[in-house]
Homo-oligomer: A and B are copies of this chain.
């Protein structure tokens, strides 16, 4: 059970298709000398990781960009080594003959700034845990606050470095959908289509209330030390609780109840006898979150939360104003039982874009995984994605 939930955090295992993307995947690093953030700060020597599936056409007009979710990274399809336990998280729809067809498209996926899994050797990112070239020490809380638009701007620089000026589509789930939507708002002439899975057009008050709760256990952990913990004991307990909240939030009762029911964590440890005796669900979430915390960084978590809190399409005053910039047709794919980004949030984007004359297709992913249906059950909307790309 613990492994099952842990697998979900790295998301992919549960839905591993019979035929994974058939080429071994290589991680590349893109470096830009300087990025000016939306907040007006400068970050030097920005480095992010990226990988690609398929072949770039000679005229570079067959590119689809895939952006990752909150706790994810650029590993969207395939395996690095044949013996890898699972392929990338959207392998079910990326590959030869699949909806994101690698026989036809060149699919690029990149790590974001302040990526959570900074200690994962296959992730390349720049954030508070990165050494500031000016001081020779990790940035910590001196790292500038970054936004979804900043993530997009780094992707744009990456594409520019490859000579790519036009995208057949930008696709992403959850925080990846924010980037996909922001691409079409910020650079409408570069984006032909948007595929927004388990999306939201902005972080509303409800979402922001929860995001701040996600972050709060880190601040409560004395080892956090106002972000100054590099080279010292890290705030693992706070980070683990933060990740536990995210993990449960991203699922739904339908699946969790089936998996755990009212089982105790240990057969001979009745929760009636001691507060230390727990239910299986809590112990499993804890185990999964603790494993995840080991490759994550607490300050990156805080910066990632803030990037999400700041999310409103276009980064202007209102969502309505932002979505007015969208020219590309959108495919919106919420998960029916999502408890994190509710389908209402997807419908809001659909309705606003349609009200402004934009083209929107909409289909709900039906499943028992909650928010995670956007990953686990993505194959369910494969045909919809295929036909959307063919238009």
Q: In the complex, which residues of chain B have a beta carbon less than 8 angstroms from the beta carbon of A342?
A: 253
A212 close to B (CB within 8 Å): yes
- Give chain B residues whose Cβ lies under 8 Å from the Cβ of A282: 208-209, 212-213
Interface of A is mostly: helix
Question: Which of A141, A222, A257 has most B Cβ within 10 Å?
Answer: A257
A220 touches B237 (CB 8 A): yes
Q: How far is the CA of A278 from the CA of B212 in the complex (A)?
A: 9
Residues on B with C-beta less than 8 A from A263 are 205
A273's partner among B145, B209, B241 (CB-CB below 8 A) is B145
Chain A 125-156 interface residues, beta-carbon cutoff 8 Å to B = 141, 145, 147
For A219-240 the 0/1 string (1 means CB < 8 A from B) is 0111000000000000001100
Asked if A217 is at the interface (CB within 8 A of a chain B CB), the reply is yes
Cβ contact within 8 Å between B212 and A279: yes
Please give the residue numbers on chain A whose beta carbons come within 8 Å of chain B beta carbons, in ascending order. 38-39, 141, 145, 147, 202-210, 212-213, 216-217, 220-222, 237-238, 241, 244-245, 248, 252-253, 256-257, 259-263, 271-275, 278-282, 285, 302-303, 306, 309-310, 312, 339, 342, 344
Report the Cα distance A275→B309, complex, angstroms.
Answer: 11
Are A205 and B245 in touch, CB under 8 angstroms? no
Using A208-B262, A209-B285, A257-B205 as known contacts, say yes or no to A274 and B145 having CB atoms under 8 A apart: yes
**30 A-B pairs (CB sep. < 8 Å):** A39-B273, A145-B272, A145-B275, A203-B262, A204-B253, A204-B262, A205-B257, A205-B259, A205-B261, A205-B263, A205-B279, A205-B281, A206-B281, A208-B260, A208-B279, A208-B281, A208-B282, A209-B260, A209-B279, A209-B282, A210-B248, A212-B281, A213-B244, A216-B241, A216-B244, A220-B241, A253-B342, A262-B312, A271-B306, A275-B306
CB-defined contacts of A344 to chain B, threshold 8 Å: 253
**Given the complex, which residues of B lie within 8 Å of A302, measured CB to CB?**
275
Given contacts A147-B272, A275-B306, 11 further A-B contacts (CB under 8 A): A145-B271, A145-B273, A145-B274, A204-B262, A205-B256, A216-B241, A217-B217, A220-B220, A253-B342, A253-B344, A262-B312
In the complex, what residues of B have CB within 8 A of residue A278's CB?
Answer: 212
Whether B217 lies near A241 (C-beta < 8 A) is yes
Residue of B nearest to A212 (CB): B282
Closest to A227 in B: B275
What is the copy number of this chain in the assembly?
2
Measured between alpha carbons, how far is A344 from B252 in the docked complex, in Å? 12
Closest-by-CB residue of B relative to A274 is B145
Give the complex CA separation of A362 and B213 in angstroms.
Answer: 34
Count chain B CB atoms within 10 A of each CB in A217, A244, A263, A282 and give the residue with the most.
Answer: A282
Whether A248 lies near B145 (C-beta < 8 A) is no
Closest CB-CB distance, A25 to chain B, in whole Å?
Answer: 34
Interface centre among A213, A275, A302, A339 (most CB of B within 10 A): A275
In the bound complex, residues from chain B placing their C-beta under 8 Å from that of A271 are 145, 306, 309-310
Task: Tell me the smallest distance from the CB of A297 to a CB of chain B, in Å.
Answer: 14
How close is A310's CB to chain B, nearest CB, in angstroms? 6
Q: How far is the CA of A209 from the CA of B261 in the complex (A)?
A: 11
